[in-house]
Structures are given as C-alpha cells and as structure tokens.
A and B are shown apart, each in its own frame.
Chain A
Amino acid sequence: MARAKRTTAFPVGLYGMLLFALAWLTLPRLFAPLERVLVGAACSVPRCTATWFGEPAVAADRSDLRRIEELGERLLRRVGEHDLTGAGDAMPLGDQPLMCRVLSVDRRGGGGLPSELRLDRSYAELYGCRELVTKGGALLGYLLRPGIGRAVDDLPGDPARVMLCHHRDAPRCYAMAVDPDGGPPLRIVVRPAASVDPAPLSVDMWDDPFRASRLHAAGYEVRTLPLAFGARRVPGGLLLGRTRIWGYEPDGVDEPLTIGVYVVPPVLPQALSHVVVWRPSGVEAPSAAASHGAHSRSAARLYDLPGVGHGRHLLVAERAVPDDAAVIQDGLFLGTARGLSFGTGLVTAFVATRQPWSLLLLPDGDDAEPIELYGRVEQGDGDRAWLRLVDGPDGRPTRLVSGYLFTGSNGRHCPAGLWIGRAQPDQFERDLLEVKVPALSGASVAEVFVEEAAR
C-alpha cells in the first residue's frame, strides 16, 4: 500500500520518459527507426482516408515544366559564369576549373562559423587537383587529401572535404591589405581566428605595425600574396575578405584605439552552394572514380493534411524516403520530407518551415550575379513567406533585389537549383525577403529527390 502511494506521488514512468526523450535527442540515429515506425503507423490512417479525397493529378502542363527547367538551367549557367571567372587570372595557365556542389557545412571554426565543406565529388574524382578552392576571385579554402591530416580516416571514394581558410587547422596566409585611398598596401599574415573572436580570420603580423595601429576604417580589401612553401603554392591576387577593426570608438576627447584587426570572408559559409576546384593542365581526370553528385527522382503521391497553418503534406512514395529529401510538386520545390516506415513520409511546405535554408537568388536581368543567401522563414501566410536573412560575415546586410528564388545547398538529398518562387525585397526591412510561391492544393503527383549511392 505504501509502495503504491509512493508510486503515485512520484511518477517514475513519466520522468523516465522525459529522460528517454533527452537520450533520444542525444543519439538521434539510434532511435530514428523507432520514430519512423511509430509516426509511420499513425500516418497509415490518413493514408487510407486520403484516397477518398480524389486522385493525384499534375497541375502543370508541359510548357510550364519546360519554363521551370529553363530557369534552373539559367541559374546554373550564371552561377558557373561568375564562380569560374576571377580566380582564373591568378591560377597557372591551362588549369581547368571544376565546379563542385556543396553538400553540407560542418565544424565550428573562427568566429564561430562552420569551417568545413563536403562536396558532391569524391576524393578520387578530384585526384590530382590543386589544393586551393576558390569562388569567383576569392580563395575559400583548401581541399583535404584522404588519409592525410584531418582526412586521415577518409577513403578515396568518400565525398571530398574542404577546409575553409578559417578552419582551426588551416595554414596561415601571406596577404596584403589594399588601402582604398591609394596608399601603399600593408603586408600581413592572416590566420584562423578563435571561435569566440568577432570575425573568422585575424591578422597576426604586419610589415608596418605603426601604420596598422592607425587603421581606423574597416573595409580594406585583403588579397593573397604569392607564396611557395614546400608543396603548397598560393598564387597572389585572390580575395581573402575585408578588414574589420576591433577597438574603441573616438569619444570626443580620446583618439580611436585599434586593438585588433580581423578579416571577414566574402561569403557566409552556410550560404555556399558551389565552389571551384582546379585541375592542373596535363593531369587527366580519373576514368572510374566514385561519384556522389547524382540524384534520382522517385515518383510519389502527395496529399494535404488538415490544418492550413501547419503546411503539412502526407507523401506516399514508391521507395523509402530519406530524411531531408527534396520534394518537387509540378516542377516546383515544395519542401523537404521526413521519411517514415511503410512507404510514407511527411513534408512541411517551404512557407511553413522554420528551419534555416541555404538559398540562391537569381536577380532579374541578363547578367546579374546570383546571390547566395542564408536565412529562415519568419512568417508564412498561404502562398507567401517572409524570409529573415542572416547578414554577411562582415555584418553588412546582403544586397537584395527582385528575382527568382532557388534552393542552395541543403544536404545530400536537396540539390541546389530547385525553383521555390518569386522573391522581392521587403519595403521596410532591409534583411527581409518576401517570397511568393505558386498556390497548389489537393492530391497531386510529386517527385522525391534521392541521392544515389556512390557509383
């Protein structure tokens, strides 16, 4: 009797379940199959009833799909035009640029920003390529080698990893800070900053410390100087970023006081969707190397779940749906799926998600450079979403214009270049982007993007 009273006074089972949930969150992969089965079984009821609400149909006709495909091609062509140019002048003559898609970003580096990229090509595919990884005229980082250094456990068939310049193991760079007023450039050594520092890169040494201490204005362009050190050769002229001054502002009595100078890279790592790797002339591409970039499209049916505000859809697929797989409805990106057992999945529409997104904005006009963005939907309302964008690493807002919004790099199963909708900057807030997506409802035919296993 006393034992029963103790049990009721202290509900061990409930607290045990809460502890179990914490353990689940700590080891998500271990318990993921359990979630797939439980939620998948619960979804079997709406799956059975969904068939009463009509047969899935395709709303877009062939010309619409062709137009959407052309937009995606235009985006990738323009990304290529701008990413491949710029660094070419600095690289040795005859080097071939290879554009690679970013699969994921990882590992906190200088300034607390992610500092490692995983590419859609394997180490074997990039065998013989130069160590330097660029984007436009900027130096982004260094390609790792399998079995060496940080990639000691990686195999040649694994997706290649790139260590960005602010990775804690990245080598120091010999560079120059270009005075915008035409003064002589300051030669400096740039190294990865600590994760708690206000910027990803910090300036370590100066050729003229006196001039450096009188730097009060930020925004000096920092470019590499040519350096040959052992096997590592860094060409001159590649953009590393812009300076940021850390110190005290003038207060009317005292002069401004510069304590530290940092360098902020030109692109936010989370926003990177494509990078460029260079293959020296005379080095042949391997013929039978494992490839990671290929996607297959799996046919599926999509049903609306009740609750407009939730923006949830039930996905019934012909094959297992991996987590975070992109779902395409009538050629448009709808959202990413959570895979469940019994051939089902749950999709949250882009306008209803609150997760962060890497995005590509294709500005209107014929030759404007695509803009890489990173942000999350702050508010969604039917077919409109308001995206709050994260400022660039230099703290300045991203330049926003009207254009077409596409997915950027959002994981293995969500490739860059899927059209989301039409975007235009908000009238009142500089970091807000209004996105209008085509309104689609009812049961429909969809496609799920699944990355194929390495071939």
Chain B
Amino acid sequence: MRRWLWWFLLVPQGFLIAGLVADLGLPALDMAVLAGLFLAWFADRRALPFLLLGVAVGRAMVDEATLPVHILVVGIPVALCLPLRGLFVAQHWLWQAFAAAAFAIVVPKLSGLCGRVFDQPSVSAQLDGWAVVWSALLMPPLLLLTRHLPPFAAFVERGFDGGRA
C-alpha cells in the first residue's frame, strides 16, 4: 500500500520538476516519455493500469487536455511496446536510445491526434526536435537510475529487471 502512496504522491510532481528543470535552462525532458518507457519495459504488468493513472494525473497538471486523453496518450505506446519488452530489458543501450527517441516523437504526435479526435488540442502536441535528441541521450541512464529509486523501484517486475534477475 505504501508504494502506491509514494507513486501517486511523487510521480505527478515529477512533471512539475521536469518543468522546473527546463526553466533553469537544462535540457527539456518529457516526464511522460520517461514514465512511459518505465511502464513499457520494467514495470510490474499487473500494476500497469494504476501506474498509468498516476502518470496521466501528472500530465493533466501541465497540459490542458483532460485525464482520459492523457491515459490514451501514454497508455497506447506502452501497450504497443509491451510485447517488445524482451528486446530492451537487458541494457541494450542503443535500442533504448532509439526507443526513447521514438517515444519522444510518438507522445506529442499522439497528443495531437487525440486532441483533434476528441476536440481537446493542447500545447504538448508540438514536436520539439531538441527534446527528441535529449531523450535519446539521457533516457537510458535516467531509466537505469529511476529503476533503483523510489517509487519506481517498488514496481520493477521480478525476473525482468535486466542484470538483477
């Protein structure tokens, strides 16, 4: 129970911290990409629906679209990547960088598509080339770090945790 409390307390605030980091002039990273990659590759599958809800709540704080749109924007790439989990878990850095860049492109594009379909356009539908580059470079080490930090560490799936299995 405690791990869920930490998840819903800290993960939504991660979106605000990412904004703060960008305001300080550091590389702009999309927290939805980091959380989405974690859900797709490392998270306990049985916990995925509510982990996704926590991520969507965080995204709803920084984006004007409604909560269900964020569930779809983050959840669809996760659902598509889930079957490919075996490719990424064993620290294939190049694969991870490639997938992080793909996530950084797919999330805004999907945001734009959902905005058009459900009439909820938002500013996060704009694709930022620098965010893609920084995602490719920084997401693999950040994923390695977050998997060992709370609240992410409590939800890492057993037997799929790269070198730890």
Contacts and interface: CB of A to CB of B under 8 A. Distances in A.
A46 B10 CA distance: 12
B62 A45 contact: no
Interface of B: 8-9, 12-13, 15-20, 22-23, 28, 45-49, 52-53, 57-58, 60-64, 66-69, 71-72, 75-76, 78-79, 82, 115, 118, 120-125
B16 A306 contact: yes
A354 B118 CA distance: 13
B24 to A, nearest CB: 9
B62 A28 contact: no
B12 A42 contact: yes
A168 to B, nearest CB: 22
A22 B78 CA distance: 16
29 contacts: A8-B45, A11-B46, A11-B82, A13-B46, A14-B48, A14-B52, A14-B75, A14-B78, A17-B75, A18-B79, A20-B71, A21-B71, A28-B66, A35-B68, A38-B57, A38-B60, A39-B57, A39-B67, A42-B12, A42-B13, A42-B61, A45-B9, A46-B16, A307-B20, A309-B123, A311-B123, A353-B123, A355-B121, A380-B123
Contacts of B22: 306-309
Contact of B17 (A16, A306, A308): A306
Contacts of B120: 355
Nearest to A314: B61
A13 B122 CA distance: 27
A43 interface: yes
Contact of A306 (B19, B121, B122): B19
Contacts of A346: 61, 64
Given A305-B19, A307-B23, A21 B123 contact: no
Given A38-B57, A305-B16, A380-B123, A14 B72 contact: no
Given A42-B8, A354-B123, A310 B19 contact: yes
Contacts of B125: 354
Most chain A CB atoms below 10 A, which of B19, B45, B64, B72: B64
A35 B66 contact: yes
Nearest to A308: B23
Interface string A292-309: 000000000000011111
Interface string A355-398: 10000000000000000000010001000000000000000000
A15 interface: yes
Contact of B69 (A14, A17, A25): A25
Contacts of A312: 61-62, 64
A31 interface: yes
Contact of A39 (B61, B118, B122): B61
Most chain B CB atoms below 10 A, which of A35, A42, A305: A42
A73 to B, nearest CB: 31
B68 A310 contact: no
A338 interface: yes
Given A14-B78, A21-B71, A310 B48 contact: no
Nearest to A335: B64
A311 B19 CA distance: 11
Interface in A324-356: 338, 346, 348, 352-355
Given A28-B66, A309-B123, A13 B49 contact: yes
Most chain B CB atoms below 10 A, which of A20, A41, A310, A348: A310
A85 interface: no
A135 B14 CA distance: 51
Contacts of A310: 19, 62-63, 123-124
A51 interface: no
Given A307-B62, A310-B63, A353-B123, A16 B69 contact: no
Most chain B CB atoms below 10 A, which of A18, A346, A353: A18
Given A17-B71, A354-B125, A45 B13 contact: yes
A13 B120 CA distance: 26
B23 A306 contact: yes
A45 B18 CA distance: 15
Contacts of B17: 306
A307 B12 contact: no
A421 B13 CA distance: 32
A306 B121 CA distance: 21
